[in-house]
Amino acid sequence: MTTAVAVVGASGYAGGELLRLLHGHPEFAVTVVTAASHAGQSLHAVHPQLMALPDRILEPTHAETLSSADLVFLALPHGASAALVAQLPEQVKVVDLGADFRLRNAVAWARYYPGFDHAGSWVYGLPELMDRTEIAAAARVANPGCYATAIALGFAPLLPHVDTSDLVAVAASGTSGAGRKASESLLATEVMGSMTAYKVGGVHQHTPEIEQTLQSLVSEPVRLSFTPILAPMSRGILATLTARVTGGTTLDVYALLQDAYRDEAFVQVLPSGRQPATASVYGSNAVQLQGCFDEHSGRVVVTVVLDNLVKGAAGQAVQNANLMYGLPETIGLSTIGVAP
């Protein structure tokens, strides 16, 4: 028997990716699709790429409608999930792609998400770094952010060997990371042929999430300097991570990455000397990494790419749902990208 699935926020980019991935999933059947401003419109009118799916009218988002589903994916703006979840029956499983339930620290939440009450925290769904048995046993899972996934996966294997109080990440993301809402700064004429940093100075909302994840892996204090960059591409993240090696010794970064992710289906450490490219993972749930030791500066350097809409959002949500239902983690997901 298939699992009845609802997608909330189906008109957005992450919602569209969820529908694309779920269409090929043998165990999950989409029964409800809802939206806010696009409610009443045809799914095909909003997502022309989904013509192979049965056409539906996007319904308004009401808890009563969602209560008929076994599993609900929430692809909503930050701060919008908590009130809706409070109205859902306890037996309905939920994967939230927003930030509402990611942070355990209420003070950090108030600083990085001002204007929204802290709703508490759920099991954090980054399977490669967290306890998979906790995800499998959970009825409610908080899906990680896209930058957070890339940066945490890149730094995690290095933590025992570097100064965790001096982690630096510079990461470029495609415009889809900002969502589908119209914005002057995301117009093609503003973005094409240009790159710009934003939320500079430690104010990006993924900073405490990344620190929380990495802190759960080590006893030493973790401090991250994170600078995000808007890149002229529709999707993808390229993160460059550096950290100072402790003890003044050299470090085989490549071997550490290989050892850490040798058995992970979705994390690919590239052959030595080959750098990851965002186009290589477009449309896939794969993460590609490369690492080396910079003898001149005494720092490690790791580069990471992923598709912010798949492994950074919808794909990871399906990966978590697979675990929650006792299914093979890879069902309905691909590690093969679309290039060029």
| Choice among 56-60, 139-143, 186-190, 296-300 with the minimum mean pLDDT | 186-190
Domain boundaries along the sequence of the chain: 3-143+311-324, 147-308
The pLDDT mean for the chain works out to: 94
CATH superfamily of 147-308: Dihydrodipicolinate Reductase; domain 2 (3.30.360.10)
pLDDT value for 54: 85
pLDDT value for 189: 73
Confidence of residue 66 (pLDDT cuts 50, 70, 90): very high
User: Of 246, 257, 274, 307, nearest to 20 (Cα)?
Assistant: 307
Look up tokens 């749930």; give the residue: 285
Q: What is the mean pLDDT of residues 116-136?
A: 97
Strand residue runs (E) in 203-264: 224-230, 237-245
Q: What is the dihedral of CA 210, 213, 219, 224, to 10 degrees?
A: 0
Q: What is the mean pLDDT of residues 117-133?
A: 97
316 pLDDT more than 80: yes
10 pLDDT more than 90: yes
Higher pLDDT, 194 or 143: 143
Q: Tell me the C-alpha distance between 257 and 226, whole Å.
A: 21
180 pLDDT more than 70: no
Q: What is the mean pLDDT of residues 148-170?
A: 97
- What count of residues does the chain have? 340
183 pLDDT more than 80: no
pLDDT value for 38: 87
117 pLDDT more than 90: yes
How far does Cα 164 stand from its chain's mean position? 22
Q: What is the mean pLDDT of residues 108-131?
A: 96
What is 3-143+311-324's CATH number? Answer: 3.40.50.720
Higher pLDDT, 102 or 250: 102
The answer to whether the beta carbons of residues 284 and 340 sit under 8 Å apart is: no
Q: How many CB atoms lie within 10 A of CB 284?
A: 22
Q: 29 — phi, psi (to 5°)?
A: -120, 120
| Choice among 59-68, 99-108, 174-183, 253-262 with the minimum mean pLDDT | 174-183
Q: Tell me the C-alpha distance between 325 and 26, whole Å.
A: 13
pLDDT value for 247: 79
Look up tokens 């269409």; give the residue: 23
Per-residue pLDDT tens digits for 188-227: 777 788 899 999 998 999 999 999 999 999 999 999 999 9
182 pLDDT more than 70: no
Per-residue pLDDT tens digits for 56-65: 899 999 999 9
Q: What is the mean pLDDT of residues 168-179?
A: 88
Catalytic residues: 146
Per-residue pLDDT tens digits for 231-283: 999 899 999 999 999 977 788 999 999 999 999 999 999 999 999 999 999 99
pLDDT value for 40: 87
178 pLDDT more than 80: no
51 pLDDT more than 80: yes
